Amino acid sequence: MKAVLQRVTEARVEVEGAVVGRCGPGLLILVCAMRGDTEGNAEALAGRIVKLRIFRDDQGRMNRSLLDVGGAALVVSQFTLAADTSRGNRPGFSAAAAPEIGERLYEHFVTALRATAIAVETGHFGADMAIHLVNDGPVTIPIER
């Protein structure tokens, strides 16, 4: 699985103008299941993300995790993270998991995050979404498992 983490002071996701998910200080997590991924990949990615030390400590250094700061997460499915731009001008997405598998792994990832006691909200899998965020730092980190 692939994810892009954005440290935020706030974020929200809208579908057809209605807010379907939001979070305060924490992470906006854009996530994509790749072909061949399993539930184990989803669990490993969730475990890695909540422990990643990308939040400021008292000295202003990135030394605290999402768990340490009691932050929240907004998780949004983002199959375009699987984009292959190595040829031509139009990205290919054949490395992404099939939609039914992608949705199952996305839901498993969300469940694994919630099991860590992190407050988690989500977008709607497969929907056209508008994401609004205030990037903190800015800190944007790609991660794979």
For residue 44, give both structure tokens.
Answer: 């490993």
Give the CA-trace dihedral at 23, 144, 100, 27, to 10 degrees.
0
- Catalytic member of 6, 55, 59, 80: 80
Query: Is 140 a catalytic site residue?
Result: no
Query: Is 93 a catalytic site residue?
Result: no
Nearest Cα to Cα of residue 120 among 19, 29, 18, 3 = 29
- Catalytic member of 55, 78, 109, 122: 78
Query: Is 80 a catalytic site residue?
Result: yes
CB burial class (10 A; 0-12, 13-18, 19+) of residue 95?
A: middle
- Catalytic member of 6, 79, 109, 122: 79
Catalytically active residues, by annotation: 78-80
